[in-house]
Amino acid sequence: MSSGIDIQRLITEQGYRPCPNCSAVLRPTTSTCRHCGTPLTSLVKAHKPAPAARPRIAAAKEAAVGSLGDLPERCLTFTVIGTPVTQGSVATPAPGVVKYSPQLRAWRRQVNAEAAQVCGRSWEPANCPLVMSAVFTLPRPTSAPKTKALHAAAKPDIDKLIRAIQDALSPKDKKEFRVYTEDSRIVGYDIGPFKTYPAPLGTHPWALTEPGVTIALRPAPAATLHRDFA
């Protein structure tokens, strides 16, 4: 899968630096390599990019973008490996009490934990209109042809798959990690939500070689009035 990010551009224009121990490419604000644990404090101080290098919008909106504003093209992209679980109707044993299945709780925790690891502890949740991309790679049925690409046009429902992801990235418990303040901030999708079977017989360029989901998130472009209603 290609993320479409130019690594050399990150290094030369955005101030990103390779870890001197494992060569992982890390954000300028990273103090410790999350891959090998190498301290990078001195490296961060020496190469912190100037504020002018970061694209800016109106000052009143800058804070609402949160830490997305620190990323190249203001886009967060990450992958979670594991069989996606749906979130549909839930049991309510008592007023105000919602009961999720153990499988759904485990999947949401996994998605949240991966997002937290990628974003880092200093992440500021976005509180602005957002556009999401999501491509789910589902287990290929044993009955499917072994050498033919096949659309994942079977259960689970795609709307229930994306609901679990959106809630996992903005838990109601504010003590938990949140990528954005609440899922109502998502106003649309760039890519997907789409579901596919694994590569090399996947039906989407983002198809993984095993079950999982690839997620991208960025601020929505400025609102414009759509006049083509005739």
Mean pLDDT of 2-14: 61
Query: Using an 8 Å Cβ cutoff, are 37 and 31 in contact?
Result: no
Task: Say what the pLDDT of residue 54 is.
Answer: 45
Backbone dihedral angles phi then psi of residue 115, each to the nearest 5 degrees: -60, -40
Ranges of each domain in the chain: 1-54, 56-219
Query: Using an 8 Å Cβ cutoff, are 90 and 98 in contact?
Result: yes
CB-based contacts of 4, cutoff 8 Å, min separation 6: none
DSSP H or E run through 65: helix 59-65
Query: Using an 8 Å Cβ cutoff, are 14 and 72 in contact?
Result: yes
Query: Using an 8 Å Cβ cutoff, are 84 and 210 in contact?
Result: no
Q: How far apart are CA 15 and CA 124, in angstroms?
A: 20
Encode pLDDT of 24-83 as tens digits: 777 777 777 767 777 765 443 434 444 544 444 443 366 799 999 999 999 999 999 999
Pull the structure tokens for residue 224. 């414009």
Encode pLDDT of 91-101 as tens digits: 555 565 567 89
Fold classification of 56-219 (topology level)? 60s Ribosomal Protein L30; Chain: A; (3.30.1330)
Task: Say what the pLDDT of residue 42 is.
Answer: 43
Task: Say what the pLDDT of residue 226 is.
Answer: 65
CA dihedral sign, ordered 31, 122, 65, 214 = positive
For the whole model, what pTM was predicted?
0.70
